[in-house]
A and B are shown apart, each in its own frame.
Chain A
Amino acid sequence: MAVTTQERAVAAKAGPDRPATLIWLGLGLIVIGQFMALLYAPEEVTMGNAQRIFYVHVPSAWVGYLAFAVVFGASIGYLFTRRRSFDLAAYASTEVGVVFTTLAIISGSVWGRYAWGTWWTWDPRLTTTFMLWLIYVVSLMVRAYGGAGSQAARFAAVLGVIGFLDIPLIHLSVVWWRSLHPLPVVIRPEGFGSGLHPAMLQALLVNVAAFTVLYVALFSVRRRQMAAADALAELKNEDHRRAGTQWTVGTQEVS
């Protein structure tokens, strides 16, 4: 396929194409991780095979929290420096975080149906995660309707800070409100992973690593796409300025 000069210019501005390697690495790890989850790890005594959802559920939830922590950091960075790269990081991480949190909630719900006999319960951790999901879905709404120029970015950054700081308070209030979620099995006072069979812990850790790599890959892809959209808009603007017209495309208006 022929690559035009413009395409090359956009690609150059968007940065090097590293995500491809990460995606293959992530997918490879997922295959190994799921193989371990389904065949290597022993069957759990009370829940049976349904417990194997654990190896999808926990890594997804972990990535969700990780992604929103990245949003928090990038939002602060954006508010203070106004560098577009921080904003793109926050935006990309919000999107990927919402996807993984959705996966965590759905997988948890299916698991809950088998383990507790109910699709949903207002347990503190479930409720907090659900509120968290809502906050970042709203953040995507702010991105979509937040207005022209850098305004949407600024508003989303403000929400990225407020939302993250709000999480402990949401959790505290829900704990006080009511407290069926199983107690922690990985990080416990008796030592790391003491609540789990060693093979289960190994399978979990491989999956956590796989999901984390996949997060970084997806994050990089989205970031690069956004940066490319910016660069494309800039180039089009240049063209149209020469032709005497204004044109805006991409995720941000270029002034």
Chain B
Amino acid sequence: MGALSAVRLLVWKDLTLELRTKEILTAMAVFALLSAVIFNFAFSPSPAQAVTLLPGMLWVTLAFAATLGLSRSFVLERDQQCLEALRLFPTDRSLIYLGKAAANLLFLLLVEALILPAMAVISGIALLPHLLPLALVMLLGSIGLVAVGTIFSAMSVNTRIREVLLPVLLFPIASPVLISGVKATAGILAGRPLLEVLPGVRILAVFDVMFVVLGYVIFEFLLEE
């Protein structure tokens, strides 16, 4: 079996599971909406303030929603001994990482597609003119979050404190994603020339490549018994 079809199979497995249970997506989406609402309660920003607050609100919401989804990612695998079955999957074990990461990314992007318009409506900011660069930054940021998040999800699920450990592991390591993501988003929303946002995009891209490769290499060490 080729690597690509193996990954596709793994993503399809997670997708089928999700379509039947709808656990993860529902939880992520509702949680993301709730945090967007809570932010507006907390700051009740005027439209002028909203432009400066939105990047932070958006990325914190995304980071929390991603953590929620990622924490579930390996729980099912573990509880039903699916991980044992995955280990028997006749392919390179590192592909399991790519498969899980791709599925997690898909879930996160779906939630983003929902939360972005919701945030635009709640805050009253027209996001549509900035959609393309914004989508690029969010995509790069999501890949980064998921690339490290999948590693840490596989790790934390096997520990005594499980879900508690995931955000504690994820946030310091993913801080370049959050910092660059927030700053780039702020630049885009303020209508700055895209060249000014480029350094952030570059950091995001380097982070993505580095941690996808690292995850691919290192995942094998996490699956041992």
Contact = CB atoms under 8 A, between A and B. Distances in A.
Contact of A166 (B168, B173, B179, B183): B173
Contacts of A159: 155, 169
A173 B175 contact: yes
Nearest to A128: B175
A172 B151 CA distance: 23
Contacts of A155: 155, 158-159, 222
B173 A162 contact: yes
B169 A165 contact: no
Contacts of A147: 158-160
Given A134-B172, A177-B179, A142 B159 contact: yes
Interface in B127-164: 148, 151, 155, 158-161
Interface residues of B, number: 29
Classify the interface of chain A: helix, strand, loop or mixed.
Answer: helix
A20 B83 CA distance: 48
- Give the bracket for the number of chain A residues in contact with chain B: 20 to 34
Given A135-B173, A165-B210, A170-B175, A177 B159 contact: no
Classify the interface of chain B: helix, strand, loop or mixed.
Answer: helix
A141 B203 contact: no
A176 B199 CA distance: 7
A158 interface: yes
A142 B165 contact: yes
Contacts of A131: 172, 175
A165 B214 contact: yes
A158 B155 contact: yes
A153 to B, nearest CB: 11
Contacts of B207: 169
Nearest to A79: B221
A169 B168 contact: no
A102 B183 CA distance: 28
A141 B173 contact: no
15 contacts: A79-B218, A135-B173, A142-B165, A142-B169, A147-B159, A155-B158, A155-B159, A158-B222, A161-B218, A163-B173, A172-B203, A173-B203, A174-B179, A176-B179, A177-B183
